[in-house]
Homo-oligomer: A and B are copies of this chain.
Amino acid sequence: MVGIDEVARAAGVSTATVSRALSGKHNVSDSTRERVQEAAQRLGYVVSSSASSLASGRTRNIGVVIPHLDRWFFSTLLSGIAEEVTRAGYDITLYNVTPDREHRRQVFDTFLRRQRVDGVIAVALELGEHESRALLSLGMPVIAIGGPNELLPTLSIDDVGLGRLATEHLLAMGHLDIGHIGADPEFDIDFHIPSSRRHGFESALRAAGIDPRPELFEPGDFTIEGGFRAAKQLLGRPGASPTAIFAASDEMAIGAMLAARDLGYRVPTDLSIAGIDGHELGRFFDLTTVDQFPARQGARAAATILHELEQPAGSVPDREELPYELVVRGSTARIGT
């Protein structure tokens, strides 16, 4: 591996000048810079990140803490982060936290503290106080996407509003008997998103003068299969007979569509179905949804961190709301049409 002194020799300057020329500092004459760049190019020189990091204290690397890699929402979000981060010439190192307590503790207390990264993006994790403090104590820019977090700067989405918007859409189409597939109350302890959506659902109903009926609710696990099972349950329940279903995720909504079809319902003629997320399959299934633009969420978090790194002047804003948008497609219609 060629080192900086070889380049210095080749360009006839000191290593200090090579370092300055290559890292784009402004106090190098143009001619020198060109000569250095040409020499570096010719010799195939690339700075060693460990040496550079040690000397400068900057790694040009962003840590991403993420609970799942193989779920659509997360991988899409990660993709958004990756694009933005790569564009800025930074690398990404991945910390895939599993449900395993011990491993999770290790990520926060050890892995992230190895000074391998300049900043951290924590994706859709419900962080405990210890974990939040661990992130804070890293002494570097940190941003959380998702759950509200008192201690950390957060890019959060209004899950109550998301649920309300989807429900209001169904109400606006004249539906009064709306089923809901969502939060299993069991999970609520450390995963609040689904129950927020459910609150949005119920508050929209109440605002329209409708009392939520327990028999119109069915828990689901956020997969297509789970939505399918839940919808069969809901639609088969005596006395339930909803004219619309709001599922707390697009994957469950798609499962519900398939279940409805299975049971002989025509969507949307007999049953309207709406979801949340903006899943890529939504277009294919012609699913009405509230899009939350996960790729853009990732890109935005990345941009915020990068900005903070380049201009430490403005600190990360404490709390920012992410946009969402109702996308009306063919799975919902006015009642009775």
Contact = CB atoms under 8 A, between A and B. Distances in A.
A241 interface: no
A225 B284 contact: yes
A59 B50 contact: yes
Contact of A92 (B50, B51, B93): B93
A112 to B, nearest CB: 9
A75 B83 contact: no
B1 A61 contact: no
What is the total number of copies of this protein in its complex? 2
A79 interface: yes
A227 to B, nearest CB: 10
A199 interface: no
Nearest to A138: B1
A116 B91 contact: yes
A103 interface: yes
Contact of A113 (B46, B61, B95): B46
A13 interface: no
Contact of A53 (B50, B61, B94, B109): B50
Given A1-B115, A44-B109, A49-B115, 14 more contacts: A46-B109, A46-B110, A46-B114, A46-B115, A47-B114, A70-B78, A70-B295, A72-B72, A86-B98, A86-B103, A91-B94, A91-B111, A225-B284, A255-B284
16 contacts: A46-B114, A46-B115, A49-B50, A50-B59, A50-B116, A61-B116, A68-B79, A69-B82, A70-B78, A75-B75, A79-B96, A82-B96, A83-B96, A92-B93, A224-B281, A224-B284
